[in-house]
Structure 1
Amino acid sequence: MQKRKYGIYYNQQFNVLMVSFNNDLAVTEVAEVNNLTVLKHDNEIVAINIFNPELKFERGLVSEDPKAYGYVQKVIADLVEVEQDVQFKIGKVLSCQPIEGTHLSLCEVNLGDEVKQIVCGAKNVRQDLLVVVATPGSFLPNGLKIEAGKLRGIDSYGMLCSARELEIAPGIYNDQGIIELDDKFTSKVGESFWGTHYENHQ
């Protein structure tokens, strides 16, 4: 069985751990399996909801939290074989060009194993900046799912994140515009931002 990459988000209001398999397929079927709600497109599983999880979470964003991933892998093991998907990556802006007539910039961002085009509206975005990238399929703490799409008709594959959008306490990173990581993160381009954040601040 081929392993599926996935991301997770905890919905505090409904006490449900949402497992997403990072695709844009429409849900055509909902089934209850082993006390799990399984969402499918035809026969393909596109998401699984784990209601009343045994683990307790204090915040919505649990992406790349090792305990959360270990729990999810155990619970859904009978349905699908999975591996963790790094959704919030450390990136480096390779180029940054203003989009005429807008406040937006067109950026090429190195994510380690690939370069992605991302449209960004932050004033502090610039070439050579080390940033935090929410890749398509990832969930922000408020539950917003990041999708590939178009801004002003230009393809964009992810979002450059601010500390506020990631609900990081003020003062840890710059609080104006997108996060600006210092040079010590240069060797970590493509790696999990949250893994590094947990190591440094928890």
Structure 2
Amino acid sequence: TVVPIAVNTAKLLPVARAPQSKNILTLGTLHYPPNADGIRWFLNEVFPLVRAKVPNATLTIIGKNPPQDFLLAASQHPDVVHVTGYVPELDEYMQKAALVVVPVRAGGGMRVRILEAFSRAMPVVTTTVGLEGINAVPDRDVFVKDTENEFANAVIKLLMDSQLQQQLAQSGRKFVENHYDWQVILGKMNDVYVQIHQGNA
């Protein structure tokens, strides 16, 4: 039996997003190569496609140790790309954003930040690799896209439709409450311990 990671949905409450915002948020430990690679792919390949359809779209990249090319992009386009470095509190950034992108293309493990974004009722666009280990339903709880065009189109669709943002956000929140809240996980762990005790595991 595998017991998945959990989040405290009673503490990670939905944020009051700005539905008309055109800001896209992405976050992660930026010296971890899979995180940097995925965000670099989004910044260089996907984001220009988004801007072609939504010219006022902006990107905020949060995380410690941002690579030099991220900082360069922010310095060259200060009104478009924002690189914050590490921030202790995400709420104010989430409140200004329309959605979260998790453009991971390699690397193992479950993306806790997807569960945290679900818990905050943030719409999420990610990849098949990004969603590994999370049993969310694509197009109901989260958008899962793997090519530049598909990923860009999902982001564009959300930026242009605040009602769709709300549907995805509410569905993601409900999903994490029902499947990945720590009290739900503790119940599963208790079942495992009972099985072990009974010799049935």
Task: Tell whether the structures are fold-level matches, with TM greater than 0.5.
Answer: no
Please tell me the TM-score bracket, short chain as reference.
under 0.3
Give the structure-2-normalised TM-score: 0.27
Q: Which has the higher helix share?
A: 2
Indicate the structure with greater strand content.
1
